[in-house]
Structure 1
């Protein structure tokens, strides 16, 4: 057995690598640089942890892992300790003496992996420590996790990551591996340039997460839509709900609590102690729903998140993919649900337009938003559209809302032409631009104070769209915005000074007006579908197929695991994940030898927990 396979088996308890893991591990262990794109839950951590262990065994010293979050460092180091690997972290949660102790352990060769934030790594003090280790040949490798943070085109750009170019300049010959779950071609090229990885081998895994079911619905009383989703499909299950604003987070968390759902708010405006408490509860307790801004989530390794819901449209497909990817990391079924409306599009456009970036950057952001809107409006397979964005061809998945329940399609070409004609006539008469609500009032023949004030009840298109509902026309607007046949113009009110978006024609509008483009739209479906039969297992999605006796063993093993996790101040899955407990429950081991070969039980865990596991299994029989 090769060195990397021995570590995989003996340390981590797995019999075989998954996907491209083996090729990546062997390449980096051999001293090569690598850029790794692998979906959330694909096993990125092993791609640098195993080379770090093997290279340390070969005398190359300590591996430095650049990680952006304290919580992630804590859990990763805790998991490595459970596996018998000497690891530590340096971050602001340590006091001065604790930090000194970690630095001493690093310098004296006692650590295999050290996790550090990018801000700390580039300080003169820490670089001086690395210089000493480099001079002694005791730097095994650098792993740069969440590498998309280095790119201004990425969805979570962090300027401090830019300084990591120092690794290439200062420590030539030390292998570097950059890892991310999300990067389109533009972001990938930026990562390569910023980190000087032009000579690195690129390993791009499939972006497909077949266990995730994608559902996108129109907003119509989104709070009640969400409550129905959780109550009908995910009651008692862990989930994450994303909102755009802090205020909305707190309001929605309270509403879910009022409806009997165990929900907690999380956003950057909460006290740090509250954020930490809520994150810890989410990681360590079953069935918690976190309502959060995008401040929550990066590096969250909780494997049994059964749903991720967006009640506001994200900024781009990369963010959407990254956030939905936090569901179903254990490979079991998970649900990615999003509700959106035209207000989401207008809000996101406004945030882009009001930003401080240059026009070229804003144009790129608008393009990314348009791609997400196109995904939301799609009438064909969601997964195909999503994977196509990342340059990956696929077949219809059979596991998204459009595949499972193909939407009814209606020809919105006539409605689109009438809408664009009305915008043209209104602007022609008043030499002003107007918002979506007013345009729809004119089109549907609704007499309002504003309509009569501007004499828009006198134009030729007044009332020519009476046969269309407001909901249908909003769908037309979203589709035209997505295809560029409708534009937005920012106007400042003379009275209030308020800035709002108005609708304008574009060169593409002429194509629609002249009949050169057909506008096919999905029938409006805002209701949340419910399962035909609710899952009644009280245990776990992982254990749903276990027999009655094995279910009892699984429940008792979960209770024991929870006690051990609390004693170690770690999430339960760090001790054993659900799949490992299922394997134990199925095998019904009677001896330590019976535990050999169960996925997730390495040598250290067998030694630490083997007898206790046998005791719990014995009590369950």
Structure 2
């Protein structure tokens, strides 16, 4: 029988229907044409190049920056019976030679390769000696200098079109605005490629953003109330904060691990493997962690610092809930985050055009944080996608924010910035407004200013909220000298003259236990729990034997379907989502034995 995309999907991967644009993308490549694909994290991008690579004669070459994850990706394909290998700097000379020989002898369906190795003359000469099914350029936004994760080695990938003009190419990314998308097509010479843009919506993720008061205690309440025992990621801006936060979470009884570029490579690999293969691990990380992570049961992504852009925020939060089950994207931020990011941006070595672009991205991120309307609607609008005005699954929809006429308070704040010479940061300005009697106030004689003590009616937290929102709105700008001094902008004039009213959002404390108070579990009747746990135990045993994460054996959705359908024969098990022929042959008897034991006693 002639293989088709659907027969490969069923036989190899164990799925019975395509999602979204998958089939159209696969057929585009199958017929020898190019494609540019935007698909959200967890949307099934890998199938879009894996299946056409298996349909074609020759090897599919996948270019990826994810050196640390290539081994896991190849191991997962081996469990499906797919002949796969990788070439990157982590391999020794003998392993490189063995992989190259397998490639030359037609023994690889898929080859994963880092971009810097692909562009070496040795590799290009090797690829010219073999039939090629396709080139897949994963994380394609890395080619764009306007994107959020630029990698200079991606700039050379235009050579694929020049040196292999007859080999179809597919570029894939989860995050790209129109400007980035156009640059991807231009730099990779994909101007004639078919574009496939899937919905950016991840309806299972609940978006929540709140003001930072005591970030650690806020995180602790969030984890204990909603995600005890769950796997998740906590993002921090600095390496030092990653280390101290991970240590503190360990002291609170959580299985937390640090991850950042400053750790030894062996420790990073170990922590990444533990996160992928163990249950309930929390990874505390900088943005160095996460790209390409396929773990489906990440139940939350928490940000203790403000992300630099909506693209980064979307990609990072998208690592939660890849299995389609409920997950939370939780973020706390404050005026210090805004000041710090603005200082980092202005002090960077980029061109003025690049800084201008980064300012716009940060302003958009601040806008997402400060809006009082639906977060999801704003997020999707940013990516050019129409959506309902209310999603019903974000904090703004579930607990609408109130606003207040802050015109008088804003004028006091702006006047204080002016009277103190536009030389001081938020903490000192609040001390002056509230009439604090401390050494710094006396040192500069600010107790004699007309603005001294005029804000005693508003608590410190209230003033921090005012300054945060004024910076976010561009009414105040941050000095780049490292001291965080605030300066007035032209937009202040009509407000100071009393010609324009200002309404600000009213910060409120987070409502406790908003979503789930127990660890996420499939919605199974209580009598099915023993079988569910027995299947999970078997999955973990097999995963340890094969040296792969448990979800590579079968994901939770597949186990849930086994519990619900109780297959007792091989052909019944084969009809379960996620069970292909190779996995049936390798694992079928073991899982059937457990199900039969529960069914027959």
Give your verdict on TM over 0.5: yes
What secondary structure, in the 3-state scheme, does the structure 2 residue paired with 1:530 have? Answer: coil
Q: Does 1:124 align with 2:121?
A: yes
Structure 1: distance between partners of 2:305 and 2:138: 27
How do 1:214-253 and structure 2 match up within 5 A?
214-253=207-246
Find the residue that maps to 2:329 and give its secondary structure: strand
In 1: Cα distance, 2:321 partner to 2:103 partner:
35
Number of the residue aligned with 1:283: 276
- The alpha-carbon deviation at position 367 of structure 1 amounts to 1.4
Q: Which residue of 2 aligns with 1:529?
A: 512
Give the conservation status (yes or no) of the 8 Å contact 2:225–2:518: no
Deviates more, 1:204-213 or 1:589-598: 589-598
Contact 1:220–1:526 (Cα < 8 Å) also in 2: no
SS in 1 for 2:276: helix
The residue that corresponds to 1:586 in the other structure is 564
Q: What number of residue pairs does the alignment pair up?
A: 597
- Picking from 403, 410, 418, the partner of 1:416 is 410
TM-score by length of 2: 0.96
- 1:376 match: 369
The CA deviation at 1:534 is: 2.3
Say if 1:229 and 1:148 are closer, same or farther in 2 by CA, change over 3 A: same
8 Å contact from structure 1 (residues 150, 194) kept in 2: yes
Contact conserved, 1:456 with 1:462, CA < 8 A, in 2?
A: yes
8 Å CA contact 2:36, 2:195 repeated in 1: yes
Instruction: Give the alignment partner of residue 503 of structure 1, picking from 480, 486, 494.
Output: 486
Structure 1: how far apart are the matches of 2:23 and 2:405? 50
Superposed, 1:159-238 pairs within 5 Å as: 159-238=152-231
Partner of 1:490: 480
Stretches of structure 2 that go unaligned for 5 or more consecutive residues are none
What are the equivalent positions in structure 2 for 1:541-552 lying under 5 Å apart? Answer: 541=521, 543=522, 545-552=523-530
Q: 1: distance between equivalents of 2:511 and 2:395?
A: 11
1:263 is displaced (CA, Å) by 0.9
Question: CA deviation digits over 1:288-318, x for unaligned, max 9?
Answer: 1111111111111000000111111111111
Instruction: Find the aligned partners of 1:605 and 1:27 in 2 and give their Cα distance.
Output: 28
Rounded to whole Å, the distance in 2 between the matches of 1:182 and 1:605 is 32
Query: Taking structure 1 as the reference length, what is the TM-score of the superposition?
Result: 0.93
1:452 Cα deviation from its structure 2 partner: 3.6
Q: 1:258-277, aligned counterparts within 5 Å?
A: 258-277=251-270
Residues 408-487 of structure 1 mapped to structure 2, 5 A cutoff:
408-427=402-421, 433-487=423-477
Query: Equivalents in 1 of 2:302, 2:496: separation in Å?
Result: 37
| Residue 66 of structure 2 corresponds to residue 65 of structure 1 | no
Q: CA deviation at 1:443?
A: 2.5
- Shift, 1:416, TM fit: 1.4
Task: Name the CA distance, whole Å, in 2 between partners of 1:481 and 1:534.
Answer: 36
Q: CA deviation at 1:72?
A: 2.4
Indicate conservation of the 8 Å contact 1:374/1:479, yes or no: no
- 3-state SS of paired residue (2:179): helix
- Bigger shift: residues 369-378 or 415-424: 415-424
The superposition leaves residues 244-295 of structure 1 with CA deviations (integer Å, 9 ceiling, x where unpaired) of: 1112111111111111111111111112111111111110011111111111
Residue range with higher mean Cα deviation, 37-46 or 218-227: 218-227
1:359 aligns with 2:342: no
Query: For structure 1, which runs of at least 5 residues remain unmatched after alignment?
Result: 492-498
Distance, in Å, in 2 between the alignment partners of 1:512 and 1:597 is 67
Give secondary structure in 2 for the equivalent of 1:11.
helix
